[in-house]
Amino acid sequence: MCGIVGYVGNGSARETIIDGLKKLEYRGYDSSGIAFCTDGKIEIRKCVGRIHNLEELLSKETLDSHVGIGHTRWATHGAPSDVNAHPHANGDSSIAIVHNGIIENYVEIKEWLAQDYGVNFLSETDSEVIAHLIGVYYNGNLEDAVYKAVDKMRGAYALCVISKNEPDKIVAVRKDAPLIAGIGHGCNFIASDIPALLKYVREIYLIENNETVVITADEIKIYNAQRERVHRDVFHVTWDADAAEKDGYSHFMLKEIHEQPKGLYETLHRRLDENGEIVLDGISMTKADIENFNKVYIVACGTAYHAGLVGKSAIEKMAHIPVEVEVASEFRYRDPFVDDKTLFIAISQSGETLDTLAALREAKSKGARVLSVVNVVGSSVARESDDVFYTWAGPEIAVASTKAYTTQLMCMYMIALYMGRTKGTVEESYYRAFLTELSEIPEKLKAVLENESEIEALAKELYKKEQVFFIGRGPDAGVSYEGSLKLKEISYINSFAIAAGELKHGTIALIEKDTVVVALATQDKLFEKMLSNIQEVKARGAYVIGLAKEGNKEIEKQADKVIYIPDCIDEITPLLSVVPLQILAYYIAKERGCDIDKPKNLAKSVTVE
């Protein structure tokens, strides 16, 4: 949610910042801007729209500098517009800031600045107050002014500040919004996320909450909230730069769909030893801890929440512990019953989703043990958890999550299996057979991906539809929610998912002639029930696309079209069945001419409430 890049060095701030912003566009893309310290003043250029609009604006002049800050915005306060775009400056343009987050008491600060200092505000944003606040406090030392401003602010922020009076530095500070500093040679960087800097550096500092960073071309100094200098170990980034490129695919989403066999293989094999035993290296949860749990909460948002739904069935079945799955934004305000017998599992691709992070803190404060399933190494959720089970999906750039979901599922199966085995609720033969099934998934998934053209053809038939329903039972219900979310978020088709047995309790009223219903029927023991549900919607005129395991030909008699997935045990079909739905959503959105990697109104990382 909003991306920040800053550069101080001997090279071109303009080139580095524009390049970094393009890599961060997934975080927000309604407007962008850049501020330079140059010739004793601050120059700001900003405009509504994507980064290429900013590039076009800048192409009209040679403006550049060795110090600058840039921003790509996801609007919270104030509509996307040139004036609301960041950077924002104070009245005499001696200070400029870029901000990611929300200043909750901005109205109060705004009133105070207007009354006591006669400040005029140009934008409708909460962020503009920060520039004026720092301007009011500025007395020859930018760090001092930033500290004083931060003291007055409530909310979440990753903030970068430049001053025309101290043109060789950037001061940055974070609270509940991500920030990293990149260590260059003769130059240094600041950014919201690693992809922005991959082209330039592999060594970074992860900035902690409430820390302030002072960046010059030669040095990066980190200070804690008490203004004491702190030592930080260098974090070595292992991703290669190509991982954040499209690599010949027309969209990141399609590339990431195709990366799933590899991501699943890595996620599984990095935690298996030579004897095929699951090893939880670096995870401190003991047998006694596992035996102590009497309840599990799985808490997440969006796609990660859907992975949690599948995780619930697996943990309950294998570890015999009741599991509740809840969206983080509800959990955090509900005062849930959590104690030291609770295992709290947070699932998050980015590890920066604010609601998930807040729910985690809430659970931790009540004594829960926190295990997180996270993709981004060193992210806030990872750092604040007792233990982390990393997904090995690699960087996920497309806003629509694909490979993060399937690797999250893999982790959930492994956690369930490990807990069951440790508690003795899973027998050796089941454990072995289940692991064998999991290890066959990457190859089976390749077979699913070979059917891409068939699904593309189906998308060409369906792309003009304005309504699509997804139904399923058991694990298929969870996958239905995910298939529906994928379709609506990138194609803007109105879509709804429901447990198939629940249809007749109301939703079936919406089924009429030619309504498209995607019916997931991959569960052997629920197959006949699903055939009945398909008949019910067919009887009302629906056009049904069935999804079943190879061999279950019976479905062809009921459905208008059938997509098959390779045979596997019922429990793990979500690892395969979601993929045709991702591909279907992708090609439907493509036919509709949608901006697939950057859908309207969305951002990859939701770091505001």
Dig out the tokens for 354 from the structure.
């604010």
The candidate with the shortest Cα–Cα distance to 357, out of 98, 101, 106, is 101
Q: Which two tokens stand for residue 478?
A: 């969870």
Site for ligand AGP in 68-127 (CB under 6 A): none
Write out 312-379 in H/E/C secondary structure: HHHHHHHHCCCEEEEEHHHHCCCCCCCCCCEEEEEEECCCCCHHHHHHHHHHHHCCCEEEEEECCCCC
Comparing CB distances to ligand AGP, the nearer of 134 and 459 is: 459
- In whole angstroms, the minimum distance from the beta carbon of 418 to ligand AGP comes to 22
Q: Can residue 356 be called a binding residue for ligand AGP (CB under 6 A)? A: yes
Determine, following the binding rule CB under 6 A, whether residue 348 of this chain makes contact with ligand AGP.
yes
Per CB under 6 A, the segment of 64-72, 91-99, 187-195, 295-303 that binds ligand AGP is 295-303
Nearest residue to ligand AGP, by Cβ distance, number only: 302
Q: Is 402 buried (19+), middle (13-18) or exposed (0-12) by CB count in 10 A?
A: buried
CA dist., res. 415 & res. 426, Å (int): 12
Q: Does 401 bind ligand AGP (CB under 6 A)?
A: yes
Cβ contacts of 537-541, under 8 Å, gap ≥ 24: 537/469, 537/471, 537/503, 537/508, 537/511, 540/508, 540/511, 540/512, 540/513, 540/515, 541/511, 541/512, 541/513, 541/514, 541/515
Q: Is the C-alpha dihedral spanning 82, 83, 84, 89 positive or negative?
A: positive
Query: Least separation, in Å, of the C-beta of 606 and ligand AGP?
Result: 5
How many whole angstroms separate alpha carbon 26 and alpha carbon 603? Answer: 6
Which of the ranges 18-26, 300-308, 331-339, 517-525 carries the binding residues for ligand AGP, by CB under 6 A?
300-308
Verify binding: residue 350, ligand AGP, rule CB under 6 A.
yes
Give the one residue of 353, 380, 495, 577 binding ligand AGP; rule: CB under 6 A: 353
Closer by beta carbon to ligand AGP, 200 or else 405: 405
Cβ proximity to ligand AGP: between 302 and 394 the closer is: 302
Q: By CB under 6 A, is residue 407 in contact with ligand AGP?
A: no
Nearer to ligand AGP, 89 or 490 (CB): 490
CB of 407 to ligand AGP, least distance (A): 11
Amino acid of residue 72:
T
- Measured from the CB atom, the residue of 544 and 581 that comes closer to ligand AGP is 581
Q: Establish if 582 lies at the interface with ligand AGP (CB under 6 A).
A: no
Interaction residues for ligand AGP, span 370-399 (CB under 6 A): 399
CA–CA gap between residue 289 and residue 371 (Å, rounded): 12
CA distances 279 to 269, 397, 414, Å, are 10, 29, 10
Tokens representing 215?
A: 């960046």
Which one of residues 349, 484, 558, 573 is an interface residue with ligand AGP (CB under 6 A)?
Answer: 349
Please identify which residue in 303, 342, 491, 515 interacts with ligand AGP, judged by CB under 6 A: 303
Task: Locate 12 and state its tokens.
Answer: 């071109």
Three-state DSSP at 208 gives coil
- Residue 180: both structure tokens together: 């990293």
Stretches 39-47, 265-273, 343-351, 590-598: which one binds ligand AGP (CB under 6 A)?
343-351
| Nearest to 264, CA basis, from 403, 151, 163, 162 | 403
Determine if 302 is a binding residue for ligand AGP (CB under 6 A). yes
Under the binding rule (CB under 6 A), the answer on residue 400 touching ligand AGP is yes
Binding status of residue 415 toward ligand AGP by CB under 6 A: no
Residue 566 · residue 221 · CB < 8 Å: no
Beta carbon of residue 303, minimum distance to ligand AGP (angstroms, whole number): 3
Nearer to ligand AGP, 62 or 601 (CB): 601
The residues annotated with a catalytic role in the active site are 2, 604
In the chain, DSSP finds a helix count (H) and a strand count (E) of 18, 24
Cβ 30 to ligand AGP, closest distance in Å? Answer: 17
Structure tokens at 230: 């702190």
**Side-by-side strand order, sheet with 212-215:** 88-89, 95-103, 155-163, 166-175, 212-215, 220-223
Q: Please, which residue, 4 or 301, has the CB nearer to ligand AGP?
A: 301
Q: Is 606 in the site for ligand AGP (CB under 6 A)?
A: yes
Candidates 81-89, 335-343, 344-352, 363-371; binding stretch for ligand AGP (CB under 6 A):
344-352
- Least gap, CB of 520 to ligand AGP (angstroms): 18
Question: Which residues of this protein are in contact with ligand AGP, per CB under 6 A?
Answer: 301-304, 348-350, 353, 356, 399-401, 489, 605-606
